[in-house]
Structure 1
Amino acid sequence: MENINKSTIPQLFSLVGKTAIVTGGTGLIGKKHCEALKAVGANVVVADIAQANPKAFAETLGENALGVNIDVTNETSLIDAKNEILARFGSIDILVNNAAINDMFENPELAASLSAFEKYPLESFRKSLEVNVLGVFLCSQVFGAVMAEQGSGSIINIASTYGIVGPDQSIYRNEAGEQLFFKSPSYPTTKGAIINFTRYLAAYWGNKGVRVNTLSPGGVENSQDEYFVKNYSAKTLLGRMATSSDYQGALIYLASDASAYMTGTNLVVDGGWTAI
């Protein structure tokens, strides 16, 4: 049996000297991704739309963090960001494709109607396809090409449990049995596409030393209505929704050499939601 040098284990998870880009980096989970990558030594690029002010959040991370304004659906925007990142750090080693649209309806009285499949707006479906699928494609193409040229890198595509299984619409019913909302069709469709795009890209760039994996998280508790938290939690084996920090370990694993022999895989971290 091969002897394991225990002193090298922490080094497997180290990202010192590596540059990591997180799209949607100012979101609830995006911020936690950035903080985790920074904690293990990475140069962190907080990439998000200008309105989200990624530069301000990057400043809170301290030294070796950079905020860049991007539009994941605009190739020119991404190329400009790529050039800025390379000028600052010299390499691109990790890409976390985290930016996505998850439908929210401002008027609660119309939410059930607008989110129902029969009346779901075509424009909403198109917009989700652009951000959630085209955005991942373009970011992977622009930033991933740098990794392929340098002969190493890790791309992590953030999907969802709803990319694996169909939505359980019953969890969106309140205590009175009223359907207040439906999980609309665009999010599961786009997240399912991302999982197979991961497989494509892993096969395409495997001989270039670029690993491509999916991280599929479950729902995060974030001040939702009590009935929803209760309904969701009851479907997980651990009996709770995720915290915003529950995905940090999995992200570091996929970004680092700890997962050096892992590519084309979907890592599911969902509290057991999809296990039964």
Structure 2
Amino acid sequence: MKDRLFDVSGKIVVITGGLGQIGAEFVKEFLRRDAKVAVFSRSANAQKAEKALTKEYASHANLLLTQADITNKESINQALDTVESTWGVADVLINNAGIDTQPSAPPEVSGPFETFPEEVFREVVETNLVGTFLMTQAFGARLIKASKGGSIIQVGSIYGMLSPVQDIYAYKKEMTGVPFIKPVAYSAAKSGIYNLTRYCATYWAKQGIRVNTLTPSGVWRETQDEHFHKNYHARMPMGRMAKADEFNGAVVFLASDASTYMTGSNLVVDGGWTAW
């Protein structure tokens, strides 16, 4: 017997950044659960989708690849028009797209706060916060126009709740002589997500539109430096980074009727990082 509480079959789900590391896992999970999934990406094409999702999911009948620039209103609305003309007004939005500065970044974008480039700060905030605002605004407006409730899920970060632990990255200076300082832009942008969520949750609550944040911790990648892994694992209560699919249960919960009385909340799935 199907568990109706967590049932998302037939729901129309829009996922930004759906070809990224955790975004691709969200896409596959909702397709497995018989939802209709529209991936919004600047470079949404079959080749990239097959690489991110595997051939099985990239060719799924319920997958719609849609090119969209989330920092551009016109592009967003064109993409949402495509979804509506294909399936109708969507039920769920997962704002997952974002950019960050990795330890492999050149020194000019990962140096001291005092010299951090203004243009990089603006670029990160434009994508991670302004893009989330524009997507939320456009999606919510369509739900209101259709007199339809829905669920909007913003993807936050532990570095939006807490400041980065700079000691984790000290190995870079020891190895190369050039320090890596985790930049301010990502933290500043992600921290803004939480009050955007609360604002929209209270603003739309009586219209049946729920808005919540999902906060993940760092996800393991083969390309990450072993020294980074060692330092990160030592700081994490569970002693490891997350697997890319370990946020799927939380996002399905927030998208489904299992969370109908939940709005304006922050669901933290971080291996205990913020519990210290």
Structure 2-normalised TM-score?
0.91
Q: Cα distance, 1:106 vs. partner?
A: 5.9
Aligned with 2:27 (options 18, 27, 34)? 34
Maintained 8 Å contact 1:218/1:242: yes
The residue number in structure 1 matching 2:163 is 166
After TM superposition, give the deviation of residue 151 of structure 1 in Å: 2.5
SS in 1 for 2:275: coil
Q: Tell me by how many angstroms 1:60 deviates.
A: 1.4
Within 5 Å, which residues of 2 pair with 1:226-245? 226-245=226-245
The Cα of 1:148 is off from its aligned counterpart by: 2.8
Structure-2 separation of matches of 1:17 and 1:67: 17
Q: Which residue of 2 aligns with 1:132?
A: 128
The equivalent position to 2:68 in structure 1, one of 59, 67, 70, is: 70
Instruction: Give me the whole-angstrom Cα distance separating, in 2, the residues matched to 1:194 and 1:174.
Output: 30
What is the alpha-carbon distance in structure 2 between the residues aligned to residue 230 and residue 215 of structure 1?
26
Residue 129 of structure 1: how far off its partner (Å)? 1.2
Structure 2 Cα separation of the partners of residues 53 and 116 of structure 1: 38
Identical-pair percentage: 42
Deviation at 1:107, TM superposition (A): 5.6
1:219 equivalent to 2:226? Answer no
Q: Choose the corresponding residue for 2:144, options 132, 145, 148.
A: 148
Residues 97 and 54 from structure 1, CA distance in 2 versus in 1: closer, same or farther, beyond 3 angstroms? farther
User: Residue 68 of structure 1 aligns to a residue in which SS?
Assistant: strand
RMSD, matched Cα: 2.0
**Contact 1:199 1:212 (C-alpha < 8 Å) held by counterparts:** yes
Q: 1:176 to 1:122 in 2, by over 3 A?
A: closer
Q: Aligned equivalents of 1:129 and 1:228: distance in 2?
A: 25
Q: Measure, in 2, the Cα distance between the counterparts of 1:56 and 1:119.
A: 35
Where does structure 1 differ by over 3 angstroms across 4 or more consecutive aligned residues? 104-108, 175-180
| TM-score calculated relative to the size of structure 1 | 0.91
Report the 3-state secondary structure (helix = DSSP H, G, I; strand = E; otherwise coil) of the residue aligned with 1:126: helix
Q: Distance in 2 between matches of 1:257 and 1:225?
A: 40
SS in 1 for 2:218: coil
Counterpart in 2 of 1:4? Answer: none
| Contact 2:19/2:48 (<8 A) preserved | no
Deviation of 1:209 (Å):
0.3
Q: Report matched runs for 1:8-157 at 5 Å.
A: 10-50=3-43, 52-53=44-45, 57=49, 60=58, 62-104=60-102, 108=106, 110=107, 114-149=110-145, 150-157=147-154
In structure 2, do the counterparts of structure 1 residues 106 and 218 end up closer, same or farther at CA, with 3 Å as the change threshold? closer
How many residues end up aligned between the 2 structures?
A: 266
